[in-house]
Structure 1
Amino acid sequence: MKEIMESMGLLCETLDVSTTSCSAGHKRTVRGTVVLRFSDENMLDHLKGADLLGSSRELYLFDHKIDAERAVNYLLTRGVGQNQIQELTGFMQHSDSKPVYTNKEKFVIATNAAEQGLNLDVDKAHIEPGLYLENLLQRYGRIGRSGASGEITIHVHRDVLKNLPENTGSFKELEQYLRSIFRKREHYASRIKVHYGAFMALCTIRSVRQNLKEQIIELLRSYSDNGTLQVFQSVLDFDRLVEQLSSSRLGKYESQDLKDWWEQFLSSLGYFRGQSNTVSVQLTRSNGNIITTDDLRWIKKWCKFEPPNERVKEYLVTGFYDTAVAVSLEYVVPLGSFWVNEAELNNRERFRSKLVDGINSFIDDAMEGNIGDTGSFRTMFKQVSRIVYPDM
């Protein structure tokens, strides 16, 4: 792939930043000379061009588990022995023999499971930056502190690379530039808090405890976070309205259509894992099956798979694509469904608009000829729709 791009004049760009050995505080010393390189080359493409027989120990730290699995699969098919691959991917493996690592394996294939508490003794590191800068700093700090020299390549989008300075006086200065480019942690955390409010509403609806609602309201108020509390209240208000309408006909539709959809929507709140559309995945290895979770969109982009059925409860991955395929996802609304393409999945407001329009269309038709406040019904669902994020 790299050779084809170069033949077309599409060169991958890099930016190098060098640091020298210095005290890092708490009696710790960073590595010797570290070359920090930023590149817009796809990390898996780089792995495919790597020296499989060299003596250096190399780390490849991916954002997605599926990419890590594709990397392991590629190395195995190229003749690299399993004993030369150390996996730090957070997979739960169901196999008779668990691997025992020597920390001298040629390749270390990892995901964010390698962010915390590990000092990886590697000569070269290739990492994807994660969602926000703290991800990147954690990953940067895990690349050993033994005083030896090394190389770290951070694979970023070309738009990010273009905004980085060519010269910096220190890593601290570079960090300030990065903070203006990467997604802010607070923004990511705010989405989690919103879903937390919705999940608390689900717990309240399912619970038989009389005073649970008041206890949760008191808890959320103590956070001084009105957004989370507002979503909590909106989910409860919408649930109460659905319950009130359940015994009557909604215009030309049965209220059961709305109630069935709402039950399905509510249940989905219990499966939140920090990323929307997270699904259970089964991967087949020669030494046993791996059960894990990953983003449904990533599964559809890169995997050949069989969807869940009565026999297999997970997405059963049977192979991988060399080139990503176009992705579209189907979302269910009370009287049908709508499809969202990849551009809409990447645009939160466009996605929400499509979802809200689908519900409002049902509300308008259902409330036709009925005495009721259609406007407040629509407003409630607009608040409820804040908990749906196609791209975390």
Structure 2
Amino acid sequence: MEKSLKLDRMYIERAQNVGTLFSDERDSTFQKEYSLYSYQQKILTDQFNGADIIFLDAPTGSGKTFSFILPVIGTFEKDQGGILTKTVVITEPTNQILEEEESEISLILKKYFNDKIKVTKITGPGKEKKDQKGLAHGNYENIINAPYHSKLILTNPDILTLLISYYYKNIIIENRFNQQFNDSKLKDWKQFFASVDYLIFDEYHSYNEASLGKLVAYTILGKGSGLFKDFKHLKIIFSSGTPLATFKNIIKKNIDKSVKIYDSIKPEIFYGKDIDKSKAKVTQFRGETEIIFTDREIFEETDYRNNDGKRRMYLFNKVVEMEQFGEKLRRENISFISYSRIDTKIKDKQIDKNDSNVIISTATTMELGSNKNPDIAHVEVGYNVESILQRIGRVSRRGQAGKIYIHLGQQNGMLIDSIKNYTEPITYEQLTEEVEKLLNKKFLDVPSLNANIGAMLYFVYKGLSFDDPAKSDVEKIGKKFKFFEAMVRVEEFKENAIDILNKTQRGDQFEIENLKRWVVNVFNSFRLFRGNILEKDIEFTRGGIEVVRSSQNLIWIKRFTEYEYNRENDVYSIKKFSDEPNNIFCLIYPSLNNRKGLSIPYLELIDKSKFTNNIKRDFNEWYEWNFQNCENETLRKYLSDIQTVIENLSYLTLPTIETEVSDADFII
């Protein structure tokens, strides 16, 4: 079963030529040649009605990336001698997007400004590895000093989070390089914010609640509280082709009412059938796109065998499916290029924009901001409305016509009947209405998001020195969030755990020290932008030819692969990708061992079959018994607070703890 729609050609209104926007009349190739969309002109000339928080809602392919660098270009053109006065920090969700963005921006700057505007890209491991003592210091130096020698900074929010949460600074202090090391001379995130004019979070719709909560916390600190007077000049921009209304409302709710918000700056869109009626000067930015909804499985497609000069993309929901498709192509001796997280260390992935007859195999990360420009795409339906609209946006990006197959598969194929029949090309708004018949909009768990706001405010509160006048104010803001207060009390309990537990005769020294260590690990999980992912080195052979070495989340390895583990080298050798996810469950608990003494909060990956209703019942009975029968009020509060913390852990934030668990312990 199939049903076809055509998304009409899309046009954006052009503004006046850049050369007429500035007071000086210097001869500039850029001024003469480059014109802007009207919404880009607003960004260039700061026409936000005094707003400091701006939401940029622009469809895929409509020039968002170029608009990000306009504040820097504007000051270069206006200031005699090219003295730059604006600093822009652009964050992207993946390093793949940063690579493409750096390439595109560098070409523009080289052509028009002779490389006089410097671009700095800062990426790297998201968290510390035990065998790289200087890594934190290096990343810290790179990000904290970037605004002083570059006006365009490209990075990911992970690096920014490690700076703001005092992770880098704490690691540096703990690993002093010499006895004369002076903690007070270390700059922190406040100096960084004070040096930045525009902080841009692109593709923010792609983040989960843990990450979005941190973005809200940064907004509260940067603009929403009025605590830091040095940030008056700072503007924060949230950019997406598929904006999240719930997230916007949370931002509005949590900032000071005196802060102005520009709710939506977006381009004026015209469609092919309306161009003759429009008097505006417009430019086509998207070609006509044929969208075919089909109940065929994506693995059933064989058009990759057509040697017709077309560039094709196959986009899967899971890396496992992408790898299985790759094996299929190898068996047929068909060349292709793969993009996924496990390919991040492979450098020869560039595709020339003029190359044809290329087959691209990829997973979900490629749906965000990628410019591989396939002529034909086959994609799985995705997880929500925002996901599928992003995937449709991969084709027809440079004005050429394109075709995309949305594979719903046999299980969801009956939903195709709900799609309306159209006799002529439709608008983006009509397309959105049809997609909403197939999928729900992205759901945000607001309590979880609020918990992560509180967590990040807690780390800033802890990191501020006692004599910093902002410390008490951050505490006042933090207390609006239940999670902030829970973390404060859990930290207090950790500091006094030995005395409390000795008095109540609950637990020995070994267990207490492990508990304290575990609390630190849990807290650090919330300190990281995407949570604490336990990564392990992997290697596997593709088609008996290419040996891939990378790293991957341990949970992912155990769920989706058959592997052998080399304990000596700590490497997982993948033998086969699983057809179905292995029945692995992530479990964690703070337990009083057999109702007698304090045991260690523990994480394990176990077979789900071991997770029985009886164990779940026993755990609930254990918790109720301990809470009701505990005579020490401090310990009672601790049990309650630590439950609050655990409730907001996701499988990405679960830390491991190295200890043995007896058969009698409940793993819940």
Q: TM-score, normalization: structure 1?
A: 0.70
Question: Could you tell me which residue of structure 1 aligns to residue 489 of structure 2?
Answer: 237
Structure 1 CA distance for aligned equivalents of residues 318 and 519 of structure 2: 26
Question: Could you tell me which residue of structure 1 aligns to residue 374 of structure 2?
Answer: 122
1:233–1:28 distance in 2 versus 1, CA, 3 Å: farther
- Give the SS at the match of 1:63: coil
Matched, 1:166 2:419: yes
1:216–1:179 distance in 2 versus 1, CA, 3 Å: farther
Of 287, 291, 299, 1:31 maps to: 287
How many residues matched? 360
Of 339, 356, 361, 2:622 maps to: 361
Q: Equivalent residues in 2 for 1:89-168 (5 A)? A: 89-91=340-342, 93-94=344-345, 98-102=348-352, 103-156=355-408, 158=411, 162=415, 165-167=418-420
Deviates most, 364-373 or 137-146: 364-373
Of 623, 643, 664, 1:382 maps to: 643
AA matched with 2:312: E
Matched, 1:17 2:5: yes
- Give the SS at the match of 1:253: coil
Structure 2 CA distance for aligned equivalents of residues 233 and 70 of structure 1: 47
Structure 1 CA distance for aligned equivalents of residues 630 and 522 of structure 2: 32
AA matched with 1:246: I
Structure 1 CA distance for aligned equivalents of residues 407 and 609 of structure 2: 22
1:80-116 CA deviation, whole Å, 9 max, x = no partner? 23xxx12333555546x73443442431112344334
Contact persistence 1:68–1:111 (CA under 8 A): yes
- Between structure 1 and structure 2, the one with the greater Rg is 2
Q: Equivalent residues in 2 for 1:218-297 (5 A)? A: 218=474, 221=477, 226=480, 229-247=481-499, 248-249=501-502, 250-254=504-508, 256-257=510-511, 259-261=513-515, 263-264=517-518, 266-270=520-524, 272=528, 274=530, 279-285=535-541, 286-294=545-553, 296=555
1:270-326 CA deviation, whole Å, 9 max, x = no partner? 455547866445233445533244582x433431124584522x5443321234433
Structure 2 CA distance for aligned equivalents of residues 194 and 37 of structure 1: 41
Question: Could you tell me which residue of structure 2 aligns to residue 59 of structure 1?
Answer: 313
AA matched with 2:327: N
- Give the SS at the match of 2:429: helix
AA matched with 2:549: I
TM-superposed deviation, 1:370 = 4.1
1:319-373 CA deviation, whole Å, 9 max, x = no partner? 212344333334354437577776999xxxx99x969x84983684499564325
Of 58, 79, 95, 2:333 maps to: 79
Contact persistence 2:584–2:608 (CA under 8 A): yes
Structure 2 stretches of 5 or more lacking a match? 13-268, 270-281, 592-598, 654-668
Structure 2 CA distance for aligned equivalents of residues 159 and 220 of structure 1: 49
Matched, 1:303 2:561: yes
Matched, 1:327 2:584: yes
TM-superposed deviation, 1:138 = 2.5
Structure 1 stretches of 5 or more lacking a match? 1-12
Structure 1 CA distance for aligned equivalents of residues 437 and 633 of structure 2: 48
Q: Equivalent residues in 2 for 1:137-216 (5 A)? A: 137-156=389-408, 158=411, 162=415, 165-167=418-420, 170=426, 171-176=428-433, 178-179=435-436, 182=439, 184-185=441-442, 187=444, 191=448, 194-195=451-452, 197-198=454-455, 201=458, 209-210=465-466, 215=471
Contact persistence 1:281–1:317 (CA under 8 A): no
Structure 1 CA distance for aligned equivalents of residues 587 and 469 of structure 2: 33
Contact persistence 1:251–1:370 (CA under 8 A): no
1:154-186 CA deviation, whole Å, 9 max, x = no partner? 234745963873206534234135457645446
Give the superposed CA RMSD.
4.6
Structure 1 CA distance for aligned equivalents of residues 417 and 624 of structure 2: 49
Contact persistence 2:339–2:366 (CA under 8 A): yes
